[in-house]
């Protein structure tokens, strides 16, 4: 039965309206049986359903129903495959329908400002373009099954340290170009049913009561029409939250905030209209959940497991492959060393923790894959719950490494190193993992390292590894995916969605993370991730977009459909790529844009397109990208809008951010020039840089200078004279003219210049 929303609102008492604005318990909204308003259930699960019953916790300490555990966000992003994100979302939506869940709490699209953030395993990328496109298809997939999503955490939730009280201090341009952009496209295009606001404050105001964030930007500018839910326990002042646009408080508050809402309405501090707006937003989505509920839905656990296996194999990234040691041949002897081989680290800790329907280790999967063709030896190597070196385990591992032809070493980050709730303090893996590798390298020269970690790590040990497969946290089918990739059943095609720095202190946020007290200032501005490393010419360990394959690709040609466009036009870019190797493989083609004429401090290049294609050996394909105004624009704080500066832009295409063999140039003309008004504190340089004003001002300066002898004392140092003149405010002319120019004449000159512009 559908809810007739306006009729229901008219019949609701003030107390009923207030009660609807908070949860019934940890996971459900309150029903109002008198008016036939049912309760709906929300659950955690960006990469897997985590349905718990009743008042079960929010932080993953208690068990949940069995569900498919797909790769976590950092792994999913490394697939760069929007179709795959849709498939995962669709599977999650089907599992939600099976278990009566109306809204899945995800995806999480916060950017990776620092590699130390404890929840980075949950987030997609350091780049807003990539994060927003992946999120869009994830949302579309879930909602194709009649289940809502809750894109989170809005906004600037980029650390766990003091996450419920700290204030992220971010300038307006950086906020729009990075930390809002990862949400904006997904909200506009995929239309998630709900948005989850973040714990933290943004520029001093809690996100749960941030009117500009939740109403001006989210609803008025972006057109969001669902409801806004708090992160669990994020509410500071419930009445201020209602006024700002926070519709639902989760979890339930025991009634005290419901009473505060009633009191505020009765005292005139909260209008009934504002409360009705929140109720209306809630009823609209509750009704949508009811209308899309499918009571007879089931799913095949095995089919979803096989999807998880396929997804994981596309998410893992081959970082290094010296001497083409991979793929491994099915012959000789092989040592499998490391506790993670039998007890995999496959998901992150905290609210996204999933109870998998099954779990396959790399040890079991490799044994099944090679059968009797390969002699397998195993050694545990280290204690998974300790950093201490165990001499007996080390000795056993060295003995195995000595007698086999090749070693696959399973190392990485234990869950105690990274989880929701705390940030990392360093980028190291446990010392006993490192020492194990170092000792094995003394007796074995063929070492393949398989990493299990949710975020970047430092690798001072990299030269000991012949090959490195970044497995991230790849879900319940991790073992089968590892076996598929090691033995060439699947060709690696993942690429990093984040930069791996050589050292932690290279990271742009290093000196300002996690901040002082309850304030963290984003001093690095728009320069995070690859934007920073390239601007500073700092070579990372592995660049954004990096990932190897068992085959090779050549980038043959790039062309555009027109060389000159306005910012109201769209531009088509065609890139031709060939498979020049011996294996069928998938390649991720990346397109970046560089602004030549910028007068604001912009990155050297920004990702503005990507696509993933499959090519057989010798096959060639041409792919197309469409660029629009936003592809060339920056956020202008004076206009409070996106602005293109007229000029040339380079378009780069290639396999990673630091390897872009194809380039072409287009000229983009801004159709809406930024308004310019000169005044007495404008500099001469400002006037000289304006294309309309410059010729007139140049002639005026020449004639006045000769007539009045301005700057005669500086003629023997023309460089100084030129610099001083360019940087001098117009009012300075009065001082240097020695009374030969009056204030009135200066004002007339300024009026004349502004008249030229008009």
Tokens of 563: 């060389």
Distance CA 278, CA 228 (A): 9
The neighbour count for residue 54, using CB atoms within 10 Å, is: 8
């994020």: which residue's tokens?
234
In angstroms, rounded to a whole number, what is the distance separating the alpha carbons of residues 9 and 746? 64
d(CA 558, CA 55): 57
The closest of 569, 644, 568 to 599, measured between CA atoms, is 644
d(CA 509, CA 501): 12
Across the beta sheet with 620-627, what order do the strands follow? 553-560, 571-579, 620-627
SS3 179: helix
Q: Which residues pair with 379 in a beta bridge?
A: 337
3-state secondary structure at position 348? coil
Q: What residues form DSSP beta bridges with 665?
A: 650
SS3 444: coil
21 Cβ contact list (under 8 Å, min separation 6): 238, 242, 247, 248, 249, 258, 261, 275, 278, 279, 282
φ and ψ of 277, to 5 deg: -60, -45
Indicate the SS3 state at residue 13: coil
Distance CA 83, CA 85 (A): 5
Q: Quick check: helix, strand or coil at residue 589?
A: strand
CA–CA distance, 138 with 690 (Å, rounded to integer): 46
DSSP tag of 341: G
Give DSSP secondary structure letters for 642-684: EEPPSEEEEEEEESBTTB--EEEEEEEE-SSPPP----TTSBH
d(CA 619, CA 330): 28
Instruction: Please work out, in degrees rounded to the nearest 5, the angle formed at the alpha carbon of residue 135 by the alpha carbons of 129 and 140.
Output: 130
Give me 544's structure tokens. 């954004």
Nearest C-alpha neighbor of 310 from the set 450, 454, 490: 490
Specify whether the CB–CB gap between 187 and 195 falls below 8 A.
yes
Catalytic residue among 63, 211, 220, 231: 231
> In whole angstroms, what is the distance from residue 29 CA to residue 357 CA?
28
Active site residue 231: yes
Would you please indicate which residues are annotated as catalytic (active-site) residues?
Answer: 231
């Amino acid at each position: 039965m559908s809810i007739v929303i306006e009729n229901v609102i008219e019949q609701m008492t003030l107390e009923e309206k207030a009660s609807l604005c908070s949860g019934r318990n940890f996971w459900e909204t309150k029903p109002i049986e008198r008016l036939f308003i049912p309760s709906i259930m929300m659950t955690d699960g960006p990469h897997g359903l985590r349905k718990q019953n009743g008042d079960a916790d929010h932080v993953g300490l208690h068990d949940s129903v069995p569900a498919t555990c797909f790769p976590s966000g950092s792994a999913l992003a490394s697939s760069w495959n929007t179709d795959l994100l849709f498939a995962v979302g669709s599977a999650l939506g089907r599992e939600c329908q099976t278990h009566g869940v109306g809204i899945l709490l995800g995806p999480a699209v916060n950017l990776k400002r620092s590699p130390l953030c404890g929840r980075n395993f949950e987030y997609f990328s350091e780049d807003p373009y990539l994060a927003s496109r992946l999120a869009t298809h994830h949302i579309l997939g879930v909602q194709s099954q009649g289940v809502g999503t809750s894109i989170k955490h809005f906004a600037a939730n980029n650390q766990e340290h003091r996450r419920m009280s700290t204030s992220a201090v971010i300038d307006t341009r950086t906020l729009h170009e990075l930390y809002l952009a990862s949400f904006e496209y997904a909200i506009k295009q995929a239309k998630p049913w709900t948005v989850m606001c973040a714990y933290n404050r943004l520029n001093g105001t809690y996100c749960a009561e941030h009117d500009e964030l939740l109403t001006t930007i989210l609803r008025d500018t972006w057109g969001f029409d669902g409801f806004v839910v708090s992160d669990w326990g994020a509410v500071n002042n419930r009445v201020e939250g209602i006024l700002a646009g926070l519709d639902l408080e989760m979890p339930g508050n025991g009634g005290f905030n419901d009473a505060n809402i009633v009191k505020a309405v009765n005292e005139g501090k909260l209008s009934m209209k504002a409360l009705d707006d929140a109720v209306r937003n809630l009823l609209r989505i509750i009704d949508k959940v009811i209308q899309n509920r499918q009571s007879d839905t089931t799913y095949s656990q095995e089919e979803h497991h096989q999807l998880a296996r396929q997804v994981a194999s596309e998410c893992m990234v081959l970082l290094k492959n010296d001497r083409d040691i991979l793929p491994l041949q099915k012959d000789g002897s092989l040592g499998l060393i490391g506790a993670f081989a039998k007890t995999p680290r496959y998901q992150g800790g905290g609210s996204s923790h999933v109870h998998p329907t099954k779990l396959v280790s790399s040890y079991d999967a490799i044994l099944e894959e090679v059968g009797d063709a390969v002699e397998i030896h195993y050694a545990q190597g280290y204690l998974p719950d300790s950093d201490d070196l165990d001499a007996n385990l080390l000795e056993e591992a060295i003995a195995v490494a000595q007698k086999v032809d090749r070693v696959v070493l399973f190392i990485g980050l234990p869950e105690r190193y990274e989880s929701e709730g705390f940030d990392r303090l360093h980028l190291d893996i446990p010392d006993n993992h490192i020492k194990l590798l170092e000792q094995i390298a003394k007796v074995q020269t063929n070492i393949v390292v398989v990493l299990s970690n949710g975020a970047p790590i430092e690798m001072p040990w990299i030269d000991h590894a012949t090959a490195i497969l970044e497995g991230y946290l790849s879900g319940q089918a991790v073992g089968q995916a590892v076996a598929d990739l090691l033995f060439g059943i699947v060709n690696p095609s993942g690429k990093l969605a984040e930069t791996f720095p050589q050292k932690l202190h290279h990271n742009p946020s290093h000196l300002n993370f996690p901040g002082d007290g309850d304030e963290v200032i984003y001093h690095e501005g728009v320069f995070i991730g690859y934007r920073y490393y390239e601007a500073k010419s700092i070579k990372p360990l592995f660049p954004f977009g990096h990932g190897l394959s068992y085959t090779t690709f050549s980038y043959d040609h790039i062309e555009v459909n027109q060389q000159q466009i306005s910012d109201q036009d769209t531009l088509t870019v065609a890139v031709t790529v060939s498979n020049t190797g011996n294996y069928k493989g998938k390649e991720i083609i990346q397109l970046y844009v560089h602004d030549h004429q910028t007068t604001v401090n912009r990155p050297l290049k920004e990702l503005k397109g990507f696509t993933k294609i499959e090519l057989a050996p010798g096959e060639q394909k041409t792919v197309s990208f469409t660029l629009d105004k936003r592809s060339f624009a920056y956020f202008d704080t004076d206009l409070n809008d996106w602005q293109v500066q007229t000029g040339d832009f380079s378009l780069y295409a290639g396999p990673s951010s630091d390897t872009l063999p194809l380039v072409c140039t287009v000229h983009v003309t801004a159709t809406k020039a930024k308004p310019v008004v000169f005044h007495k504190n404008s500099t001469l340089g400002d006037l000289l840089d304006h294309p309309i004003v410059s010729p007139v001002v140049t002639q005026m300066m020449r004639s006045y200078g000769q007539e009045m002898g301005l700057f005669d004392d500086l003629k023997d140092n023309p460089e100084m004279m030129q610099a001083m003149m360019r940087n001098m405010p117009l009012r300075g002319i009065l001082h240097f003219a020695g009374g030969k120019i009056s204030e009135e004449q200066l004002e007339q000159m300024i009026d004349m210049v502004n008249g030229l512009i008009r």
